[in-house]
Structure 1
């Protein structure tokens, strides 16, 4: 048998293949994705589900002249392999390797970066309008968006505008009834009706928005896809194609457990069985400490509710959804709605724990300011994946939260250094704060095995001393305390170095800071957020305001976007690893 994929390095090569050979190519492409991801890890199910669509799009359209956007980029692995990145695909998500998401600087076939969801329709409409203004009315503009992503408010904004234009765009709805977790909401139920009832298909919301609607069609029938895309290519104006796919298609385990196989880690490429990792004597993930603690608190306090925008598994709100489903809410990919709904709940005396990834809270910044902080509503933001998160790269690092939140009046900001501190601040927050609070914690495991300690109330705005010293004070926040401990262990004159966990980025413990500035010659701050405007900046502002004249060094994420790689590699690049911290401390001795 001829192996087709090995000879394809671009869509130009793809177009040389006979249509009746394309199912074989689809099989080979699936096998290639499974082969690489089984050993190198990455996002699996989404890309397996769109193999036929990926081939059909590049077969019918003239990419890169025709512009193709994948929303979200989880599903773009096949696209990358067919567009010149096959030979380097094994470097996917590794340091200096291929990005896990479409990236403009990586390839001319990636016209728009899509690491966050629901942006494709607005972007492709902007591109289409630009083509029209430049006099090019032959170019095609295609966006592939999932049924979870299209439920976002931004996607609706794009559809609403596109429907009153003559823009030459094609929106392809990849409907598999799941994002990372199962899709939720009335739109999901509506799409289910469209799939199963011809009356719904004939009179549907997409047609009402002035789109030329077609479908639903089988997204795994490559000949049907090519025929329909070829037909739509000749039609001008806004078009909408509804396709039905199965996430994880081609790997039985991935089809059966679509949540787990979204990004399964290493697995057996034949059986799909996940590689077993020993959990004996391993501390829990911070997200699981959050999830279990929330259930514990909610059982004792009937006012507590949990809210997440489409990440119940990733954030571990799933524990509360399983045990207290009437008070736990997955609102879909709708961060703005999640924040303002939490604010509404707070006005009525409920205690909302709004659980959002740090990088995704950026999408609801106005709501944090206008709907929560301005009204001083005691919403409890639990920001998962704070700091450098690893292989997902620049779109997912939670490094801006300290800077973008610190400038907001009324908002308390806390970074626990371990699991026990996370539990205690969650306990403290639900006792009745008069302000909103943001609790930010990292991805991955903590340090404490015996973390289910009795709750202790934390006094707001207080730091603690972890180690005494005579000359230098190192001030850390969050889990950076661990790297500081390791750094101090490398230094011969340990007795000269004091270490403080400041805990609160806002309000700062000014009484403690006065003592620190009056005692030590040099102050070093350490944070896993951006240097510009973050915790170190706050300490520097304090020094200037109080007119202290001391040596101060701020260690944090530099003023650039950090790409993908292992967390340890990225910390080293950023000067946040313990060896780099130790080197800086030594330079002041």
Structure 2
């Protein structure tokens, strides 16, 4: 069953250049011809189709996904790689009664299209639209939310054991990529898999050919045989016979069975040892291979099963197949040429500034090294690795290991920088506390994607790192207000050799400030005055400084003289700066892109301990992210909703001063921002 010629390409211009300008925007919204997919609203409809129609459905599903993501942007390669697998799983298993859990969620776009959300697929990652990941509140077909990697087997095991205890027949199926198998949590879950009995199925989506590259017809045939009811029944009978044999004979019999299955199926001994019955590898793009194996697995009566499926990221798209990392996630693009919708950068990204700054520091100090957890390009360490390959370490999706590995390096006099997104660093908090902070080891944390992240939503927002790091003794916590400050903070972190430190910085482009030739070491715990005033003081931590300066201009136009200060450090706070601002202003506002308990809480604590708030006239307010998980959307709208843009700052200050026009300040600013 081969793929049909993509109808979307039949409708489009031959090349992007051939299209008139007026047609280019139209072409982005062209939908493919999908007559079979049009008849499928939910998996109930899918299961009514004859098997020989499933490849056509998969072809149409792939075209629909390409068309949708060309309009919205989003995760791309992983979803294209599991189109046939998605169709087969929903066809064979009785979802949603059988629980289907997608690890991470990058690969779930085809799943969303087949489960009643096709009419909203072009809203994915847009404000008020579909989540880019699976989400329990979005559909009954999403039994578990997935924003971080390697959680699927644990969740599926819990569901399978619940079914077992309730004596329900439903299965729990976890689809996990081979990259996610680098995380220890996956193996922790598999170590307990036998508790689920036959209700747990794990689909190992091997999309990098990293485990077993040979998946021909013989492999598929053997997988079908060893997953069959007859074979499993014989195996169960054989186990009972083995248990009755004397110990030496029983051990030999088990070894012989493992050897025979290893010869037949190409591996799986590790999974057997963890309590799984291993089947595979099979071609994840061949329905004739997938369906019989999955049907056998569905009907299995003896223990948890792992099915090893080999797929190709970006399968079926001529640009995504050979460029798997580049096409992991994409902006809007032309479906024919693959040309992406481009915007002209106004400033370098914080990620690139960090990488360049670290390279400069490393050129001066051969003890500096860098660690990432499967995100070299996302953190800029691919650039660093090109320059210093022997000092760059990608440990896979293993944040806990990354932190303790860095701690080990630090004990021997090296200067490790651990570059991890804020949201992913949360996974290693115990290691930060016990292995780093308690021992005062000088590990440097470079925290990318700090604050709100727009389309990726609450699972990826860096909302909590100031709170969870600044509460630790012996920790220095910095936040860059602009890209030049980031360079200084990288240099500062490199110089701190008696305790751990962290520097946080946001996603995206900087402010366009002039960059120094190299970073300078900052005095620990000292901020700076950026603009001097007399009545209102805004003490900003991090990348909201630009909005604070805009707010100051607005306030000045209203006759309110305003000071703007850059705290630089969340810990230790600048005691003297806070005293001076409190003594010389009527209002003190702290500003941060972090949740409750962060920088503002530390300033409030200092003011209370100093007695500055006792009976005085100073009015203090802490501006921070709202105490809720903010849904995905455009960053500008998210900041407006959080009150952390210039208009929100002005409104908070006017309200604090008792002005009646604070609501009008919000309205005026919002109106000014509209095109």
TM-score calculated relative to the size of structure 1: 0.95
Looking at structure 1, the residues matched to 275 and 76 of structure 2 have their Cα atoms a distance apart, in angstroms, of 35
1:324 paired with 2:388, answer yes
1:175 matched residue in structure 2: 206
1:106 paired with 2:132, answer no
Looking at structure 1, the residues matched to 154 and 286 of structure 2 have their Cα atoms a distance apart, in angstroms, of 29
In structure 2, the gaps of 5 or more residues are 1-32, 220-261, 658-675
Looking at structure 2, the residues matched to 361 and 471 of structure 1 have their Cα atoms a distance apart, in angstroms, of 39
**8 Å CA contact retained: 1:340, 1:367:** yes
**8 Å CA contact retained: 2:409, 2:416:** yes
Looking at structure 1, the residues matched to 361 and 97 of structure 2 have their Cα atoms a distance apart, in angstroms, of 55
1:497 paired with 2:562, answer yes
1:582 paired with 2:650, answer yes
1:398 paired with 2:467, answer no
Looking at structure 1, the residues matched to 361 and 122 of structure 2 have their Cα atoms a distance apart, in angstroms, of 44
Looking at structure 2, the residues matched to 98 and 432 of structure 1 have their Cα atoms a distance apart, in angstroms, of 44
Instruction: State the shift of 1:277 in Å.
Output: 3.0
Looking at structure 2, the residues matched to 203 and 248 of structure 1 have their Cα atoms a distance apart, in angstroms, of 26
1:81 paired with 2:146, answer no
1:21 paired with 2:53, answer yes
**8 Å CA contact retained: 1:10, 1:84:** yes
**8 Å CA contact retained: 2:71, 2:122:** no
**8 Å CA contact retained: 1:417, 1:477:** yes
**Secondary structure of 2:622 counterpart:** strand
Matches within 5 A, 1:419-430: 419-430=483-494
1:557 matched residue in structure 2: 625
**8 Å CA contact retained: 2:483, 2:513:** no
Matches within 5 A, 1:400-439: 400-439=464-503
1:523 matched residue in structure 2: 588
Instruction: State the shift of 1:566 in Å.
Output: 1.1
Instruction: State the shift of 1:432 in Å.
Output: 3.7
Q: Which runs of 4+ in 1 moved over 6 A?
A: 193-198
1:49 paired with 2:114, answer no
Looking at structure 1, the residues matched to 34 and 319 of structure 2 have their Cα atoms a distance apart, in angstroms, of 28
The alignment covers a number of residue pairs equal to 574
Instruction: State the shift of 1:338 in Å.
Output: 0.3
1:252 paired with 2:284, answer no
Instruction: State the shift of 1:164 in Å.
Output: 5.7
Looking at structure 2, the residues matched to 309 and 477 of structure 1 have their Cα atoms a distance apart, in angstroms, of 27
**8 Å CA contact retained: 1:164, 1:210:** no
Looking at structure 1, the residues matched to 36 and 76 of structure 2 have their Cα atoms a distance apart, in angstroms, of 22
Distance 1:359 1:239, change over 3 A: same
Looking at structure 1, the residues matched to 575 and 198 of structure 2 have their Cα atoms a distance apart, in angstroms, of 57
Looking at structure 2, the residues matched to 345 and 193 of structure 1 have their Cα atoms a distance apart, in angstroms, of 35
**8 Å CA contact retained: 2:533, 2:561:** yes
Looking at structure 2, the residues matched to 414 and 337 of structure 1 have their Cα atoms a distance apart, in angstroms, of 24
Instruction: State the shift of 1:2 in Å.
Output: 7.0
- How big is each residue's C-alpha offset from its partner over 1:508-538, in whole Å with a ceiling of 9 and x where there is no partner? 00011111111112111111111x2011111
**8 Å CA contact retained: 1:212, 1:240:** yes
2:532 matched residue in structure 1: 468
2:450 matched residue in structure 1: 386
**8 Å CA contact retained: 1:124, 1:169:** yes
1:544 paired with 2:608, answer yes
**8 Å CA contact retained: 2:102, 2:134:** yes
**8 Å CA contact retained: 1:125, 1:167:** no
- How big is each residue's C-alpha offset from its partner over 1:26-81, in whole Å with a ceiling of 9 and x where there is no partner? 11111111111112111011100000000001101110100000001000000011
**8 Å CA contact retained: 1:215, 1:243:** yes
Quick check: which has more Rg, 1 or 2? 2
**8 Å CA contact retained: 1:477, 1:504:** yes
1:184 matched residue in structure 2: none
Instruction: State the shift of 1:273 in Å.
Output: 2.3
Matches within 5 A, 1:434-473: 434-448=498-512, 450-473=514-537
Cα RMSD over matched residues?
1.7
Instruction: State the shift of 1:585 in Å.
Output: 2.1
Instruction: State the shift of 1:450 in Å.
Output: 3.4
Instruction: State the shift of 1:485 in Å.
Output: 1.0
Distance 1:291 1:163, change over 3 A: farther
Looking at structure 2, the residues matched to 469 and 294 of structure 1 have their Cα atoms a distance apart, in angstroms, of 36
Instruction: State the shift of 1:166 in Å.
Output: 2.2
Looking at structure 1, the residues matched to 500 and 46 of structure 2 have their Cα atoms a distance apart, in angstroms, of 55
Instruction: State the shift of 1:157 in Å.
Output: 0.3
1:338 matched residue in structure 2: 402
Distance 1:118 1:289, change over 3 A: same
1:568 matched residue in structure 2: 636
Looking at structure 2, the residues matched to 336 and 481 of structure 1 have their Cα atoms a distance apart, in angstroms, of 32
Looking at structure 2, the residues matched to 73 and 2 of structure 1 have their Cα atoms a distance apart, in angstroms, of 24
2:340 matched residue in structure 1: 274
Instruction: State the shift of 1:494 in Å.
Output: 5.7
**8 Å CA contact retained: 1:71, 1:144:** yes
**8 Å CA contact retained: 1:470, 1:498:** yes
Instruction: State the shift of 1:449 in Å.
Output: 5.2
Looking at structure 2, the residues matched to 273 and 2 of structure 1 have their Cα atoms a distance apart, in angstroms, of 24
Looking at structure 2, the residues matched to 66 and 588 of structure 1 have their Cα atoms a distance apart, in angstroms, of 54
Distance 1:194 1:374, change over 3 A: farther
1:374 matched residue in structure 2: 438
Q: Quick one: which of 49, 64, 69 aligns to 2:101? A: 69
- How big is each residue's C-alpha offset from its partner over 1:215-261, in whole Å with a ceiling of 9 and x where there is no partner? 10000002221111101001132100000000011111111111110
**8 Å CA contact retained: 1:253, 1:273:** no
1:122 matched residue in structure 2: 154
1:480 paired with 2:544, answer yes
Distance 1:385 1:174, change over 3 A: same
**8 Å CA contact retained: 1:162, 1:238:** yes
Looking at structure 2, the residues matched to 18 and 43 of structure 1 have their Cα atoms a distance apart, in angstroms, of 30
1:135 paired with 2:135, answer no
**8 Å CA contact retained: 2:347, 2:511:** yes
Looking at structure 2, the residues matched to 588 and 145 of structure 1 have their Cα atoms a distance apart, in angstroms, of 51
**8 Å CA contact retained: 2:482, 2:513:** no
Distance 1:202 1:542, change over 3 A: closer
Farther-moved stretch of structure 1 (45-54 vs 446-455): 446-455
Looking at structure 2, the residues matched to 94 and 243 of structure 1 have their Cα atoms a distance apart, in angstroms, of 32
